[in-house]
Chain A
Amino acid sequence: MAEYSVFSLLKNALTGNKDWKPAWRKPDPKASYDVIVIGGGGHGLSTAYYLAKEHGITNVAVLEKGWLGSGNVGRNTTAVRSNYLLPANTRFYEHSMKLWENLSHDLNYNVMFSQRGCLNLAHTPAQLDDFARRGNAMRHLGVDAELMTTAEIARLVPALDVSATARFPIVGGLMQRRAGTARHDAVAWGYARGADRRGVDIIENCEVTGFLRDGDRISGVSTSRGEIRAKKVAVAVAGSTGQVMRLAGIDTMPIESHVLQAFVTESLKPFINTVLTFGMGHFYMSQSDKGGLVYGGDLDGYNSYAQRGSLPVVDEVMSEMLALFPGLARVRMLRSWGGVCDMSMDGSPIITTGPLPGMYLNCGWCYGGFKATPASGWCFAWTIAKDEPHDFNAPFTLDRFHRGLVIDDKGQGATPRLH
């Protein structure tokens, strides 16, 4: 593996940067593979990487209908955290956090993981009690969490309106110090490079148009670049899950696709050094290393496959931002965009064998898929390689809804737009 290092940097600097090689090849698809992963986003690429690294399965193709990382891995607001209430979620996301903490080393690729913390603001004493409960649940499972007072919050985020006359006064908050952000494109590129160097074929512009069957077993896929056979076919297509599963003859899923918008402002000087969430609505914000404030809020709230949102949510998100930071009123928003989220019926993901023989399914990430990228791929690779789930993803089955074993962290019920 050609390493990126200070020595290779120096050597290439002295030789005019002529010798850098592309980070991954652009191979044509072979006739067959051991494993096909449908979806070249973060989860598909990390699945391929861990199949090769942890399980020695290198005869793998990742099929991506567009270009690599063109979906949600490049559209999210980059927050990484493991501050969940329910044990199944906490264990899984904490495993992800531990993989994040070593990811740049592991991939030999700087994913710019920055543990700047994630602070959930509480605006009522009852909400602070609820946060204390969640913090205790996290600490019980070995995850860091601490309650912060309003004075501590004011020192950490000086621009915040912490006055008693604020529209929603801040009474405290729950902080996870190990949480933070990562450079989302680098995560896709790093996993792609790591998988490619281990022999995985990453095939872009290759849309799956159907599934091949051998009896009742899935034995490959037909694509816009021809038929490709495989012993195992893994699906990791996020918002397109319903569409891809329909190609396999499965018409209904416990998933609705919704659009989530994200926004970035013009670059500012250092303004906020943590990931901040608003407790009286749905708003989260961090500052990128380039200086832009990166933020978002709620889903648009109705089924959508359009990778763009509508104005009412833009208006709502901006008003929430100004409720917290009146001083940002004159900052200009540079860009907004939308991603299609696979909203599950309990707000938790699905990583499982099946539902058809020869098939494996990874979906239901709602709008929390980015932070899960390492553990999702790690657990999915385990599930594919061993034909059974790891303990970390054993609760995330597809049939849990019908068996009454939902994992509903927010207690919201089967109303996907509210998770």
Chain B
Amino acid sequence: MLITCPYCGPRDVIEFTYQGDGNRERPQPASQNLDAWNAYVYNRLNPAGDHNEIWQHSGGCRAHLRVVRNTLTHEVSSVAFARGDHKSAARHKAEGKP
């Protein structure tokens, strides 16, 4: 399996560390909404098909990457830097989310 790092180019999967499901949303640190925290820590979509996930190019540029990969075929369809794509705390607050 190859992942094309936007910085380093196509590299073997052994250079990368899997950091799991990229669909999870961490509540604000001060949130006391237990359901939201539990869902964040324990619940997974676990799809058979395209999966939105986070990888780190730990054996290369060390960037965190947002990868869309098919869990049935292992085909990688999109790779982008993960930085900045999380909802900011300020936006959380504006939307009234936990």
- A interface residues with partner B (beta carbon < 8 Å): 242-243, 251-257, 301-306, 310, 312, 345, 401-402, 414-417
Could you tell me if B13 and A256 are in contact, using CB atoms closer than 8 angstroms?
Answer: no
Encode contact with A along B1-28: 1 for CB under 8 Å, 0 otherwise.
1000000000011100010110000000
Among candidates B14, B39, B48, B69, residue contacting A252 with C-beta atoms closer than 8 Å: B39
Q: Are B42 and A414 in contact (CB under 8 A)?
A: yes
Q: Which residues in A have their C-beta under 8 angstroms from that of B71?
A: 257, 303-306
Docked-complex contact A310 and B46, CB < 8 angstroms = no
Q: State whether A310 touches B42 (Cβ < 8 A).
A: no
Pick from B38, B46, B47, B72: contact of A402, CB below 8 A. Answer: B38
B57 lies within 8 A of chain A by Cβ: no
The answer to whether B18 and A417 touch across the interface, beta carbons within 8 angstroms, is: yes
Across the A-B interface, give the 8 residue pairs with the lowest CB-CB distance, nearest first: A242-B46, A252-B43, A401-B42, A302-B18, A402-B38, A305-B48, A254-B42, A312-B14
Q: B43 contacts A303, CB within 8 Å?
A: no
Contacting pair B41 A414 (CB below 8 A): yes
Q: Tell me if A's interface is mostly helix, strand, loop or mixed.
A: mixed
Q: Is the CB of A303 within 8 A of B46?
A: yes
- The answer to whether the Cβ of B97 comes within 8 Å of any Cβ in the partner chain is no
Chain A neighbourhood of B72, CB < 8 A: 305-306
Q: Which residues of A contact B92 (CB under 8 A)?
A: none
B3 to chain A, nearest CB (A): 10
16 A-B pairs within 8 Å (CB atoms) are namely A251-B45, A252-B39, A252-B43, A252-B46, A253-B43, A253-B44, A256-B44, A257-B48, A257-B71, A301-B18, A302-B18, A303-B21, A303-B51, A402-B42, A416-B44, A417-B18
Q: Kindly list chain A residues whose C-beta atoms are within 8 Å of the C-beta of B45.
A: 242, 251-252
Q: How far is the CA of A402 from the CA of B34 in the complex (A)?
A: 8
Residues of the A chain whose Cβ atoms lie less than 8 Å from the Cβ of B39: 252
Give Cα A305 to B51, complex, Å.
Answer: 11
**B32 CB-CB contact with A under 8 Å:** no
Structural contact, A256 and B46, CB atoms closer than 8 A:
yes
Taking CB atoms, residues of chain A closer than 8 Å to B20 are 256, 415, 417
Docked CA distance A386–B52 (Å): 40
Chain B: CB-nearest residue to A401: B42
Q: What residues of chain A lie closer than 8 Å to B18, measured between beta carbons? A: 301-302, 417
**Which residues of chain B come closer than 8 Å to A301, judged between CB atoms?**
18
Size category, B interface:
20 to 34
List residues of chain B with CB within 8 A of the CB of A303. Answer: 21, 46, 51, 53, 71
B94 to chain A, nearest CB (A): 25
Minimum CB distance partner of A403 in chain B: B38
A254 to B46, CA, bound (A): 9
Measured between alpha carbons, how far is A345 from B23 in the docked complex, in Å? 16
Inter-subunit contact A401/B21 (CB<8 Å) = no
Minimum CB–CB distance from B38 to chain A (whole Å) comes to: 4
Contacting pair A312 B48 (CB below 8 A): no
Q: Pick from A253, A255, A402, A417 the residue with the most CB of B within 10 Å.
A: A402
Residue of B nearest to A312 (CB): B14
Least CB distance, B20 to chain A, in whole angstroms: 7
| Contact assessment for A242 and B42 in the assembled complex, using a CB-CB cutoff below 8 Å | no
State A252–B25 Cα separation when bound (angstroms).
Answer: 13
| Residues of chain A lying within 8 A (CB to CB) of residue B47 | 242
Q: How far is the CA of A243 from the CA of B14 in the complex (A)?
A: 28
CB distance from A232 to the nearest CB of B (A): 25
The answer to whether A306 and B12 have CB atoms under 8 Å apart is no
Q: 12 additional contacts, CB 8 Å, given A253-B46, A256-B21?
A: A251-B45, A252-B39, A252-B44, A252-B46, A254-B43, A254-B44, A255-B44, A301-B18, A303-B21, A303-B51, A306-B73, A310-B1
User: Closest CB of chain A to B82's CB: distance in Å?
Assistant: 16
Q: Which of B41-92 contact A (CB under 8 A)?
A: 41-48, 51, 53, 69, 71-74
Known contacts A252-B39, A303-B71, A306-B73; A312/B12 CB under 8 A: yes
**A255 touching B41 by the CB < 8 A rule?**
no
Q: Could you say which of B38, B46, B48, B51 contacts A401, with CB atoms under 8 Å apart?
A: B38
Q: Measured between alpha carbons, how far is A253 from B13 in the docked complex, in Å?
A: 27
Q: Nearest Cβ distance between residue B36 and chain A, in whole angstroms?
A: 11
In the assembled complex, the CB of B65 is this many whole angstroms from the nearest CB of chain A, namely 13
A254 to chain B, nearest CB (A): 5
- State in angstroms the CA–CA spacing of A345 and B48 once bound together: 18
Give Cα A302 to B14, complex, Å: 12
CB–CB A302/B53 < 8 A: yes
A256 and B23 CA atoms in complex are apart in Å by: 13
In the complex, what residue of chain A is closest to B34 when comparing beta carbons? A402
Contact A255 to B46, CB < 8 A, known contacts A310-B13, A401-B38: yes
Q: Which of B1, B41, B44, B72 lies at the interface centre, i.e. has the most chain A CB atoms within 10 A of its CB? A: B44
